Amino acid sequence: MLRNILIINPSLMAALIAWAIAQVLKVVIELILTKKINWALLFQAGGMPSSHSAMVSAAALSIGLNSGFYQPVFAVAAIFAMIVIYDATGIRRESGRQAVLINSIIEEFSKGKIPPGEKLKEVLGHTPGEAFLGTLLGLTIGFLVYISII
């Protein structure tokens, strides 16, 4: 059933493939940089490349290629992609920066007699470079899925 849905809906297939490749690339990049495999990165937000950017850009391009760039559904997909990428590089990134600061305050307090608090997740958003490479990955996957079904 799921296989049929993916074959019938190349835009969904492109988005999911782009997301999966981006998540796997995070593990590979971490392995190259630290010489350690961190399987948890497969299911975490943040990091290089942005899987959010990859997913929405693959979906938007695939919708444009399959349905037409003048169709309203492409406009919705493109606007949705812009919002997601903006959010990933703006609001979520700033939340991550705030988490870093709050965690450093908690660490300072924990050196005293105040019990330490729970550390916050610091990798929430993306740098513009991470979002750009995620978008580039998504556009590439969206195009490759499109040419593979014609």
Q: Where are the domains of the chain?
A: 2-90+125-149
Distance CA 146, CA 64 (A): 10
Helix 128-149 crosses helix 72-89 at what angle (to 10 degrees)?
A: 150
pLDDT tens digits for range 125-149:
677 777 777 888 888 888 888 888 6
Q: How many residues would you count in the chain?
A: 150
pTM value? 0.68
How many Cβ atoms sit within 10 Å of the Cβ of residue 122?
Answer: 16
Q: Contact 141/147 with Cβ under 8 angstroms? A: no
The span from the CA of 120 to the CA of 143, in Å, is 38
Higher pLDDT, 1 or 108: 108
Virtual CA dihedral for 84, 86, 10, 25, nearest 10 degrees? -100
Please tell me the number of Cα atoms within 13 Å of 89 on its side-chain side.
18
List, for residues 8-46, the tens digit of each pLDDT value: 889 999 999 999 999 999 999 889 988 988 887 778 777
Interior CA angle at 131 toward 126 and 137, to 5°?
140
The predicted pLDDT at position 3 comes to 64
pLDDT for residue 89? 75
